[in-house]
Each structure stands twice: as structure tokens, then as C-alpha cells.
Amino acid sequence: MRVLLSTIGSRGDVQPLVALALQLKALGQEVHLCVPPDFRNWLEGLGMALITPIGPELRSTGKARPAAAPPTPEQRRQMMAGTVATQFETIAAAAQGCDLIVGATALQIAAPSIAERLGIPYVFAAYCPIVLPSPHHAPPVLGMLGQTPAPAADDYSALWEQDAQSWNLMWGPLLNAQRASLGLPPVSDVRRHILTDRPWLAADPTLAPWPDSSAQTLFQTGAWILPDTRPLSPELEAFLDAGEPPVYFGFGSIRAPQELSQVMITSARALGRRAIVSRGWADLSLPDDAPDGLAIGEVNQQALFKHVAAVVHHGGAGTTTAAAQAGAPQIIIPQMYDQHYWAQRVHALGLGVAHAPGTPTIDSLKSALAATLQPDVTARAHALAAAVRSDGAQVAAQHLITARPN
């Protein structure tokens, strides 16, 4: 069987699909990846030979520049039109000869239509429950559209109806124009078309349970975790050995102002803690050369998080899961989309603090650290680590082979 795996996004969107790809290859299947070009060298280093780049390099689009102004409505319309056209052209070419398409993240506008045109099965996978409609939770927050997290409610059905209308307004004309060019009929419910009637949830059931356990329209596999066997650098090993466990700060591909590093270092120092600062796509640097801080690049989080006192991050699904699996307390400073959900889950499970969205201050971060570094929080984080499953990608791969979706 030849499977096309497609996603658009940052490392956190691509890495779970790579975990699935390697499991499929181990089971003798042929895998073709359609992902942003930023990750080609990394994927080739993992032995992935069939790679089709889709779209521009993400780091060159200004995603990591905090000073970049948000796009105007016309710029956003042009970006959306370009995205849809590129997806249909690229995925259609990559899918030739494939028996199945798996799309991850909600911007898979073209993939289900390409699968329909080719007459092959399509599976949509979400990395977080709130991507999928349920009256038990609100839709994810789209910060670029000025949205903010919804207030607590007993039933979020009305918000999901509004969300469906937004999908139709934003993507309906673009999607249906492309479908018409393929000889396919128009769709009236864009979101349902993209998410499908039986989506997969690639999230850990302890960290992110589906709120309706009786639902038969969803398959929760567990998180797709890519095992990382890379050693830590000698410099990082030496820093870890030189004192008590430090606090890790990392914000991945999120926009972050340079002055944030000063806030992070100062808040840790106020509590007598050392700090590791991940440079991320914002290329953060340390404010001084004091020995209690270390700036690092891309790292094996699975190994590092076992040696830190806490993990402070933006709340991506992958980082949240890696920290939980390592037994590390967490502070999540959510910025957009599903990150607010992960912050709430960390708080609800007693694994740390859900910081207010936006840029933290020294006082707010110091307060969050003081609460997170308490012995009872550390104990809960250590206890929950054993419950986090590591076989989600294997479960998904086996199910794709033995229970071929329709």
C-alpha cells in the first residue's frame, strides 16, 4: 500500500506525521510525505525518500518576526487563494498512484477532494480535541481574526454553528471553484467536508480525552510521538551537571520579542533557578553572559525535559505531550488556536499553571514559576508521566493497514 501523508504548518504539525510515516514503513508500506520545504533535509536524514514540498518556506514568510504587521483583509484573501491553489496542484501530483491519503491539521483544504477525485480513502487527523466539533468545548481561537477564548458555558453548539458558517464564507468559493475544475460537485458544509464524518484524534487520552466517551464517530489513537534518540550536546550536558535542574523556556515558531529573554532569565533568577532558553524561530538570545543561563537551538526534548525543573512554553500539542511524558511541571503561555486548550488541561490536571495569554511580565512569570515549582505539582507531574501512551503512531499505522478506511 502506498500512503500519502500531508500537512501544512510548523515542526509541531509535521513531526507527528513523520512518526506515523516511520511506523508505516516499518510495517512494509510505501510512504509519500507532502510537507513544507523547511523540513526536507531533516526528513531525508530520517530516511524518507518520497517528499513533495508544499508552499513556501515558513521561516521566510515572517512568522517569527514579532514586528510584522498582521495581513490586511485583501492580503489575507490573496494568501488564502494562493494556499488553496497550491494545495490542489501539489497534492494532486503527489497523490498519483497512492491508495490512501492522511491529512493532518485543519488547513487540509484540498486533500479530501483529491482523494474523492481519485476514488481512494481519506483520513483526517487532529492533534487536539477542540479542532473537532463538540457541544462540550468551544472552537479553537484564531488570533489573526481577532478572536479570543470563549467564556465557560454548558453547551457550545451555537459557537460551532457560527464556526461552520465562517468556514463556508472563508473557504467555500475557493474550494468549490477547484472542485468544479476537477468535475466534482460543490460542497455546502466546508468544515464537515474537511474534517470528515469519522476523524481521527491523534492525542493522548489522559492529557486530552474526547469529552463524549459514547461517541462512535471518532477514533482516538493516542499521540503520534516520534522517538528521539539524539544525544544532548556536551555543552548542554555540562550545564545540566553544573547545578540544580534549570527551568526550560521555549516558544518554538511563535512570534516572540527579544526582550522576552530578559523576562525569562530575571524571573528564574528571582527564585534562585538557572534557565535554558530555546532560541526558536524568533532567534532569542540571552541578555548577558552569566553562567546561570544557556541558549540552545533545536534539541531532543524527550531527553532534556527529564532533567529540568519546569517547562515554560506556548502550549503546542507536541511540547505539552513531551513535557508530560517526561514528568516535568509546565507553564503554558498560550497565544493562539489550540494552545488555550492545552493550558487549561495542564491546569486541570494539576501539572502546572495556565498563564494569561500574551507576553508575560517578570512578576507574572515569577508568580507562575513559584506556583509550578511546588513539590505537590512536581509529584503530580511525575505520577502522570507513566500514564502517557507512546504507541499512538503504531496504533494508527496498524489500523490504516488492517481496517482500511472507506
Q: Pairing mode, if any, of strands 293-296 and 275-278?
A: parallel
Same domain, yes or no, for 205 and 295?
no
Same domain, yes or no, for 169 and 191?
yes
pLDDT at 145: 56
Same domain, yes or no, for 189 and 275?
no
The C-alpha cell of 215 is what?
461517541
Same domain, yes or no, for 201 and 349?
no
What distance lies between CA 122 and its chain's CA centroid?
Answer: 21
Q: pLDDT tens track of the chain, all 406 residues?
A: 999 999 988 888 999 999 999 999 999 999 999 998 989 889 998 888 888 888 776 555 444 444 456 678 788 888 889 889 999 999 999 999 999 999 998 789 999 999 999 999 999 999 999 999 999 999 987 655 566 777 788 899 999 999 999 999 999 999 999 999 999 999 999 999 999 999 999 999 999 999 987 666 899 999 999 999 999 999 999 999 999 999 999 987 666 667 788 899 999 999 999 999 998 767 777 888 889 999 999 899 999 999 999 999 999 999 999 999 999 999 999 988 899 999 999 999 999 999 999 889 999 999 999 999 999 999 999 999 999 999 999 999 999 999 776 6
Provide the domain count of the chain: 2
Same domain, yes or no, for 8 and 34?
yes
pLDDT at 63: 45
**Domain residue limits at 63:** 2-226+390-402
Same domain, yes or no, for 206 and 297?
no
pLDDT at 87: 93
Same domain, yes or no, for 118 and 248?
no
pLDDT at 152: 80
User: What's the DSSP call for residue 21?
Assistant: H
Question: CATH number of the domain that 285 lies in?
Answer: 3.40.50.2000
Q: What is the DSSP string of 301-359?
A: HHHHGGG-SEEEE---HHHHHHHHHHT--EEE---SBTHHHHHHHHHHTTSEEEPPSSP
112-136 exposure pattern, b = at least 16 Cβ within 10 A, e = fewer: bbbbbebebebbbbbbbbbbbbbee
Helices 362-372 & 260-270 angle (0-180, nearest 10): 50
pLDDT at 64: 43
Same domain, yes or no, for 215 and 279?
no
Q: Nearest to residue 288, comparing CAs of 270, 255, 312, 266?
A: 266
Using an 8 Å Cβ cutoff, are 273 and 369 in contact? yes
Same domain, yes or no, for 134 and 240?
no
User: What's the DSSP call for residue 141?
Assistant: B
CA 41, CA 39: separation in Å to the nearest integer? 6
Same domain, yes or no, for 217 and 239?
no
Same domain, yes or no, for 381 and 394?
no
pLDDT at 69: 62
**Whether pTM exceeds 0.85:** yes
User: What's the DSSP call for residue 50?
Assistant: -
pLDDT at 324: 98
The C-alpha cell of 365 is what?
512569570
pLDDT at 9: 83
Same domain, yes or no, for 84 and 153?
yes
CA 62, CA 145: separation in Å to the nearest integer? 17
